[in-house]
Amino acid sequence: MRNPLAPTRLLRRASLLLLVALLAACAPLPPRNPLATWVPSPNHDIRRPVLIVLHFTNQHSAQESLDTLRTKNSGGPVSSHYLIGADGHIYQLVSDQLRAWHGGPGHWGTITDINSASIGIELDNDGTTPFAQPQIDSLLRLLADLTDRLHIPRTQIVGHEDFAPTRKDDPGPLFPWPQLAAAGFGLWPQGELIDPPAGFDPWMALGLVGYPLEDRAAAVRAFHHHFRGMQGDTLDDQDLRILYNLAQIVERGTPLTD
């Protein structure tokens, strides 16, 4: 017996195939140089970030920051891959595979083009108040996703001020780096802090961690914000113990490269 619904099903299938073909035809092609003959090779890859940079927005709401990150502003256009609201809501503004404009000039170890090598995460915070716990909880979830999915080492998480200490002060001394460290994220001292041996060079250790040393006082301020949660631009004995500990960790691990 002939199925009266068969023609209808065939028509629906044909329509679906036609729609797929039309969508494929409308998909943007990768950029091609009109001066050259296109002979495609499968031997290529997408951008692979190796660093995650944390910022505070220094604004007063997530909506204000969303507007800033999607439009032009007085300092020129800026963006980030993610914004996390104080309530913990995660917004994505730029694909992980693309280069967001969040870092600007600076270097971390041998990484000299921060934007090309990193994922930028903005945190809705005015820079003077503690970070909300729902926001940090969402940040930890996002860090777990990014480091696992993009194969970024969990130690490769820094603040904006760490690589640009003469220009920036975010995420600042109120950011809870110890909480991130307890969850396994970021470079952090391990074990007992002991006095370094005679001849220990704290500046060499600070540079080995990744800090730029063109302005040593600025580098120490950023180091204090990150590892001590305090102000100050001169090194004390506790700083030397921390730097000795961190230098040993870095020497046992993988150098910072792009």
CA distance 140 to 125: 16
Domain ranges of the chain: 51-182, 202-252
CB of 258 within 8 A of CB of 113? yes
Give the pLDDT of residue 16.
54
| Residue percentage of the chain with pLDDT more than 70 | 86
Q: What is the pLDDT of residues 193-240, one digit of tens each?
A: 999 999 999 999 999 999 999 999 999 999 999 999 999 999 999 999
For residue 120, give the H/E element and its range. Answer: strand 118-123
The closest of 217, 213, 202 to 247, measured between CA atoms, is: 202
Q: What is the pLDDT of residues 134-144, one digit of tens each?
A: 999 999 999 99
Q: What is the pLDDT of residues 31-48, one digit of tens each?
A: 788 899 888 888 888 889
Residues with active-site annotation = 122
CATH of the domain spanning 51-182, picked from 3.40.50.720, 3.40.80.10, 3.30.200.20, 3.50.50.60: 3.40.80.10
Find tokens 């439009």 and name the residue: 71
